[in-house]
Each structure stands twice: as structure tokens, then as C-alpha cells.
Amino acid sequence: MFENNTVYIIGDAKAPSNNPITQQYKAFFIGLVVNKENSMIVDADCSATIELTKSFVKSLLVGRSILDIDTVTKEIQTRYFGSSQKAFIVAFKNASLKYQNIVSSAASSVLSSRR
């Protein structure tokens, strides 16, 4: 289903205690499939309890760079007004950091093998 040049990353964050997401999943998670060649998000999902929320989250993320934290954060702040907005932002930043670590580890491995 996904090409060999993609990786799967999970970002997570605490959601508000009164949020149904917290009641069902204990946290807010986003799953992202990212193309390693250009850092673009090719698919996304989240731990929302409403299918429309999942679809909307996907529309905010797919086609964006996982490295463009500021633009994605602004998009979330101006378009997503669910009670898990802050958790969504934190989860995205968490996923971006994990991706950056994966990319830098891979680059280090390549450099080490050339020596």
C-alpha cells in the first residue's frame, strides 16, 4: 500500500481530561506516513472518536511537510477548534521530532558506512 521510501511515525500528547478521546484512548495520537525523500505527509490518522474529526485532521496534514512545524501549527490554530487542539499541536510536534531523529540517525549511518 505504501512505497518503500515511506516511514510510519506516531505522535502523542495528553488530551484534556473531559475530552472523549481521553476517556477512550487515554491520550491523543496521530499516525503519519511520511515520504523520506521529501518529508511530505502522504497519509494521516488520529485517535479521534468522531470520523469527521479524523477526516478533518487528515485534510490538515496530508500534503504538508512534517518539518514545517510553524505552518502546520498555524493551520491547526486557525482551523481546528476541537477541545483537543493543544494536544493535536503537541502530538504533531512530537511526531516531527521523532521524524527528525530518524532522518538524522539514517544520515549518521550512511556517513559511518562510507568511512
Question: DSSP states of 30-60 as a string?
Answer: EEEEEETTT-BEEEEEE--SSHHHHHHHHHH
Asked whether residue 29 is domain-assigned, the answer is yes
Range of the domain at 99: 6-114
Asked if residue 32 is part of any domain, the answer here is yes
The verdict on residue 1 lying in a domain is no
In a domain, 26, yes or no: yes
Domain count, the chain: 1
The CATH number for 59's domain is 3.30.390
Model pLDDT for residues 82-96, shown as the tens digit of each residue: 888 999 999 999 999
The pLDDT of residue 38 is 96
pLDDT of 42 > 90? The answer is: yes
Q: Is the pLDDT of residue 72 over 90?
A: yes
What is the model's pTM?
Answer: 0.86
Residue 105 lies in a domain: yes
